Homo-oligomer: A and B are copies of this chain.
């Protein structure tokens, strides 16, 4: 019997195991134009926390008592859709479950590039595109810039570091703890700061004596405040995520927000979905970086559908290096 994780209650602050329940689901027989997919890989992403709240946003909220959703890669096991045959690998949004019946138009067949399929949830997928368009388009980062990226050992951050190096920038990454800092260093970062070892402002000032031109924000809070404190004139901030705030129930406070004016800082929030029409651009350049080894993929893999909520909650405890995935 196929199973899916359902949202049973909405969290106040940090989610807990009892917000989720794994339940059997009935899958209707295939209609024309539909395929049946068995999932191999489930994407685990911080933005899913926002969908647990009952608020209007750029993606609909998860509904109480209903199955949850997310990026996934699976294999076609049955098809009544032209162009799809058993064995085809497809990407779709019916994650948080082991099997799904989907209209063929709601899935993308993976191109045969000779790379592991799970890369299409990571460096070659929305995660990689977030890093690519956020750094190059939103922040207009260019050769010679001093770029600071927070959560640099995370799924998006680790790709930002590598793209920035491939494009000739100086890169400072932040991460929590020695293991993650070593990983960020191994990606080519020029400087790494451990935000668990002391106040981020002090650490960042120590390694960025000339300040920063670009900040790629995955964290918010003190990281964002430190970036404002140390921004050079006309600095550009791409605001991709604020994981520090997703479970917070108190406001974020900033000592250096007035530097926006004197340093003429631009902050711009973005959603990668807005860049879907430009994915070909991303695939072309990222494909060549992966082929040349300039960009490497790193995943933290959790085994089994049962562990999907644990993997998700692990994101907020910093348990992942690189992209967090669940393998079925």
A residues touching B (Cβ–Cβ < 8 Å)? 50, 57-58, 220, 225, 239-242, 245-246, 251-255, 257-271, 274
Contact = CB atoms under 8 A, between A and B. Distances in A.
Nearest to A228: B269
Contacts of A251: 225, 253-255, 257
Number of copies: 2
A258 B220 contact: yes
B258 A263 contact: no
Given A251-B255, A258-B220, A266 B264 contact: no
Contacts of A253: 251-254
24 contacts: A50-B262, A220-B258, A225-B251, A239-B260, A242-B257, A242-B261, A245-B257, A245-B258, A246-B258, A251-B257, A253-B253, A253-B254, A259-B269, A260-B268, A261-B269, A261-B270, A262-B269, A262-B271, A264-B268, A264-B269, A264-B270, A265-B268, A265-B269, A267-B267
Given A251-B254, A252-B254, A260 B267 contact: yes
* Residue of A245, A251, A260, A261 with highest tally of chain B CB at under 10 A: A261
A230 to B, nearest CB: 13
Nearest to A231: B269
A266 B241 CA distance: 14
Nearest to A56: B262
Contacts of A254: 251-254
Contacts of A264: 268-271, 274
Nearest to A244: B258
A252 B261 contact: no
Given A245-B257, A252-B253, A267-B268, 4 more contacts: A225-B251, A251-B255, A254-B254, A265-B269
Contacts of A269: 259-266
Contacts of A242: 257-258, 261
* Residue of A260, A263, A269, A274 with highest tally of chain B CB at under 10 A: A269
Contact of A57 (B57, B220, B262): B262
A66 to B, nearest CB: 21
A209 to B, nearest CB: 14
A274 B242 CA distance: 31
A267 B270 contact: no
Contacts of A57: 262
A145 to B, nearest CB: 18
A192 to B, nearest CB: 25
Contact of A271 (B239, B258, B261): B261
Contact of A261 (B241, B255, B257, B262): B241
